[in-house]
A and B are shown apart, each in its own frame.
Chain A
Amino acid sequence: MTTTDAPPAPPRPRRRPGDRIFAGSATGAGILILVVLAGVAAFLVSEAWPAVVAPAEDIPGGDGLTAYIAPLVFGTLLAAVIALLVATPLAVAIALYITYYAPPRLATLMGYVMDLLAAIPSIVYGFWGIAALAPALVPFYGWAEEHLGFLPFFAGPASVTGRTMLTAGLVLAIMILPIISAISREVFGQAPALHREAALALGATRWEMIRMAVLPYGRSGVIGGAMLGLGRALGETLAVALVLSGSGGITVNLIGQSNPSTIAANVALKFPESTGIEVNALIASGLALFVITFAVNMFARWIVNRRADFSGAN
């Protein structure tokens, strides 16, 4: 009289074929991701290898691979550091404004707007940088050369097009602003309400409350966010390729006419016309970029994850 689909003993879920297939494919997808990541490294190495072993005079520039990549690495780091220095304080201020200063309804709206801005394609930032920002900065560069010329950063002669390292750094700063502020906003919002209320109840002003209860709590989140922003700025391609007129070697002059290019921009600009060993050299520079960003991102995630225990999901 028992129904046929009610087995006498409770089945072990793992032993059904459906379960085995499903668990297998899910695990397989997870492992596939690891394989892809390893594949990225492996294929880059295999295509970069001819440039590594090639004689020095075959590499573009004629001085070997190290001399070819070094200015690019320098340019990449310089642009990213400028971006980070400009964007981090602004992003923290934006995050504080949205979490603790703005009226709640405006804050929600601003959150949406910042998310939208984070999604704008990088090429559009490049278009804007070349059409609006660079011309707008030309008068400032003239002024900086005249009055701040004693600093090596503003040694000049100032670029007349405005397509300088500083412009590229500023465009990158604007691009990573939403990323850093999104992560900062999240950690600031998670600062324990009891700590904040206790500070206020003891008579702290709003700033004192933020300094004592919010900033110490959010510090590692801000650092992690800044590192993620740095990773994005390091790998940013089209915005820099459009804005920066990169030609020169290593220089700290931020407003001059000849600037070091960045790895990503250099690849994007040279790749379509390259053949043979040039392609391998470009891929080798891409490998260098991969290693740099990988290290930065690992460091960033390590910092962010130290705080993960506090998020309390599930």
Chain B
Amino acid sequence: MSTDLRPDAVAATPARNPALRSRRQLPRFAPTGLFGLGVLLGAGLSAATGFSLTLTVVYGVVLGTLVLYVVARRVEGGRKAFDRLVTCLVTCAFGIAMVPLVSLVWTVLENGVRRLDGEFFNSSMLGIVGEGGGAYHAIAGTLIITLLTALISVPIGLLAAIYLVEYGTGRLKRAITFLVDVMTGIPSIVAGLFAFALFALFSGPSIRLGIMGAVALSVLMIPVVVRSSEEVLKLVPNELREASYALGVPKWRTILRVVLPTSIAGLGTAVTLAIARVVGETAPLLVTVGLVNGTNLDPFDGRMSTLPVFAFYQLTQPGVPPEPAIDRAWTAALLLIILVMALNVVARLISRFFAPKTGR
């Protein structure tokens, strides 16, 4: 055995031992280059059979992966080659997933900017046939109903989160935690049907009110608020609470004066994200609030318009001629995306600027 450790024996091993030969590596640029070569081959193949972009990408990716795998297998051995294959596959899967998402944003932008003008924000659909008209009534309705939803959901959600973190013990806490998790998955349409069933029981089946929509959305929003504020409250260090108790501060004042101010940034983020979740919900509003052409700002009296429902009906029942209505629908969809993105950005800003200086 010891003779094998002599320098000349070790130096001689690589030639004989195939396991050590696999230490040879492709240079850094080689994987990209080889993949590119495969893509070029794929482009050639697709050009030979009548050029199309889709086929080029498909052939190119398949061939590129194959070329890289084969070469890596010859040079670096099976294990490294498989590693490169997986890297290729994972990156390609990521690319594949990005395609529809980019396409989505692009489609909505392209179709939506056509009617993104002053009239869209300033006029309702009252007496509008064909061109013109706008979504003032729908925007106002969405804002009112979302505000009502937040007014219902935030206090209940926050208090429930406080219960779970500060007070809850035993079986009730476990039950609430579990059911809140499950409640997060209630289909939005079921929430809508619930609100309808609730109000229909007292006021008959033809009732449509803004507040019904707010109740339906609250069913969706409360669990989100609870879940995320619970996470935030858990982050508050126990030392802060204990320091406060040690100074003789009662528990409720500790929560109000120490725990909540410490976590205010996280709570703001949580609430904003929860609002972003419900602001685009369509299905519950479709069955509870309905649609109306004029402007109705009173959520306790009759149908209201909301942006998602407005977009839905403008697309599915455009009337004659259909183009102006379809354009309005796309613009409403674009507005929805902008609204959601803006809320997300606001949430990030809140968590950045209002974060406590002593946190974590």
List A residues at the B interface (Cβ < 8 Å): 10-11, 13-14, 16, 18-19, 21-23, 25-34, 36-37, 39-40, 43-44, 46-47, 89-91, 93-94, 96-98, 101-102, 112-113, 115-117, 119-125, 127-128, 130-133, 174, 177, 205-208, 210, 228, 231-232, 234-238, 242, 264, 267-268, 271-272, 275-276, 279, 282-283, 286, 289-290, 293-294, 296-298, 300-301, 305, 313-314
Q: How far is the CB of A274 from chain B (nearest CB, A)?
A: 9
Query: B333 and A127: CB pair below 8 A?
Result: yes
Query: A40 and B83: CB pair below 8 A?
Result: no
Given A131-B107, A272-B290, also A119-B283 (CB < 8 A)? no
Query: A242 and B315: CB pair below 8 A?
Result: yes
List B residues at the A interface (Cβ < 8 Å): 79-80, 82-83, 86-87, 89-91, 93-94, 96-97, 100-101, 103-104, 107-108, 111, 155-160, 162-164, 166-168, 172-173, 175-176, 178-191, 193-194, 196-198, 200-201, 205, 219, 222-223, 226, 231, 234-235, 238, 245, 248, 250-253, 255-256, 273, 276-277, 279-283, 286-287, 290, 308, 311-312, 315-316, 329-330, 333, 336-337, 340-341, 343-344, 348
For A46, what are the chain B residues with a Cβ–Cβ distance below 8 Å? 197, 201
Distance, CA A240 to CA B80, complexed state (A): 43
Distance, CA A196 to CA B166, complexed state (A): 36
Distance, CA A32 to CA B82, complexed state (A): 54
Distance, CA A236 to CA B283, complexed state (A): 9
For B223, what are the chain A residues with a Cβ–Cβ distance below 8 Å? 33
Query: B103 and A128: CB pair below 8 A?
Result: yes
17 further interface pairs, Cβ-Cβ under 8 Å (given A97-B93, A128-B100):
A26-B160, A29-B156, A33-B179, A34-B175, A47-B193, A121-B282, A122-B282, A130-B315, A133-B100, A242-B316, A264-B283, A267-B193, A268-B282, A268-B287, A272-B290, A289-B187, A289-B189
Query: A123 and B333: CB pair below 8 A?
Result: yes
Smallest CB-CB separation from A170: which chain B residue?
B100
Given A28-B159, A123-B333, also A301-B178 (CB < 8 A)? yes
Query: A124 and B250: CB pair below 8 A?
Result: no
8 A-B pairs whose Cβ atoms sit less than 8 Å apart in the complex: A26-B159, A30-B159, A102-B94, A112-B348, A122-B280, A128-B104, A238-B282, A264-B283
Q: How far is the CB of A37 from chain B (nearest CB, A)?
A: 6
Distance, CA A91 to CA B316, complexed state (A): 32
Query: A205 and B83: CB pair below 8 A?
Result: yes
Distance, CA A120 to CA B68, complexed state (A): 37
Smallest CB-CB separation from A40: which chain B residue?
B194
Distance, CA A54 to CA B186, complexed state (A): 27
Given A13-B245, A101-B90, A127-B315, also A289-B286 (CB < 8 A)? no
* Partner pick for B248 among A10, A116, A282, A313, CB 8 A cutoff: A10
Query: B108 and A127: CB pair below 8 A?
Result: yes
Query: B164 and A94: CB pair below 8 A?
Result: no
Query: B93 and A29: CB pair below 8 A?
Result: no
Q: How far is the CB of B214 from chain A (nearest CB, A)?
A: 14
Query: A237 and B283: CB pair below 8 A?
Result: yes
For B248, what are the chain A residues with a Cβ–Cβ distance below 8 Å? 10-11
7 interchain residue pairs of minimum CB distance: A235-B187, A121-B280, A93-B93, A29-B159, A22-B252, A297-B185, A205-B83
* Partner pick for A47 among B156, B158, B200, CB 8 A cutoff: B200
Q: How far is the CB of A90 from chain B (nearest CB, A)?
A: 5
For B86, what are the chain A residues with a Cβ–Cβ distance below 8 Å? 206-207, 210
Distance, CA A276 to CA B205, complexed state (A): 8
Query: B311 and A127: CB pair below 8 A?
Result: yes
For A207, what are the chain B residues with a Cβ–Cβ distance below 8 Å? 82-83, 86-87
Given A26-B159, A90-B93, A97-B91, also A237-B188 (CB < 8 A)? yes
For B234, what are the chain A residues with a Cβ–Cβ distance below 8 Å? 313-314
Query: B164 and A272: CB pair below 8 A?
Result: no
Smallest CB-CB separation from A43: which chain B residue?
B197
For A102, what are the chain B residues with a Cβ–Cβ distance below 8 Å? 94
Distance, CA A295 to CA B42, complexed state (A): 47
Query: B190 and A16: CB pair below 8 A?
Result: no
Query: A237 and B111: CB pair below 8 A?
Result: no
For A13, what are the chain B residues with a Cβ–Cβ distance below 8 Å? 245, 250-251
Given A19-B251, A297-B182, also A25-B187 (CB < 8 A)? no
* Partner pick for B101 among A29, A117, A205, A301, CB 8 A cutoff: A117
Q: How far is the CB of B88 from chain A (nearest CB, A)?
A: 10
Query: A39 and B194: CB pair below 8 A?
Result: yes
Query: B283 and A124: CB pair below 8 A?
Result: no
Distance, CA A237 to CA B156, complexed state (A): 27
Distance, CA A125 to CA B175, complexed state (A): 35
Smallest CB-CB separation from B93: which chain A residue?
A93
Query: B83 and A206: CB pair below 8 A?
Result: yes
For A282, what are the chain B residues with a Cβ–Cβ distance below 8 Å? 193
Smallest CB-CB separation from B206: which chain A residue?
A275
Q: How far is the CB of A87 from chain B (nearest CB, A)?
A: 9
Query: A26 and B166: CB pair below 8 A?
Result: yes
Query: A44 and B193: CB pair below 8 A?
Result: yes
Q: How far is the CB of A191 from chain B (nearest CB, A)?
A: 16
Query: A101 and B87: CB pair below 8 A?
Result: yes
Given A235-B187, A271-B287, A293-B185, also A97-B197 (CB < 8 A)? no
Given A26-B163, A133-B100, A268-B287, also A119-B340 (CB < 8 A)? yes
For B196, what are the chain A residues with a Cβ–Cβ distance below 8 Å? 47, 283
Distance, CA A234 to CA B90, complexed state (A): 27
